[in-house]
Structure 1
């Protein structure tokens, strides 16, 4: 079985189990994307705070949080 998308063995029975497994997989995939974007935005924001402290700037840009 191919696990490229982290879709492992389905332990749920029948067609309903298959549908539930796909929904759970899609939810996990979307959650990974959202958390990755939030982590990148937090990293960028912390770098800007550090640079503002380092160079004495009064204004720090907030990151745009856009999903998609």
Structure 2
């Protein structure tokens, strides 16, 4: 069983932030397996998984972006 939310295939790990995955600019990162308290339903226990397939692309650091 794979216990990862993001699988990178030939792509930079810099593509794994919330903004790149369409989840908002910043998302909270929890390293625990279960981070909810109180009653939980099936929706609370469901995890989205992303598979990022690339062709060797890299994401440039903010300081090196070309100016328009």
Smaller-chain TM-score bracket: under 0.3
**TM-score relative to the length of structure 1:** 0.25
Question: Which protein has the larger Cα radius of gyration, Structure 1 or Structure 2?
Answer: 1
**TM-score relative to the length of structure 2:** 0.25
- Bigger strand fraction: 2
- Bigger helix fraction: 1
Bigger RCO (CA 8 Å, 6+ sep): 2
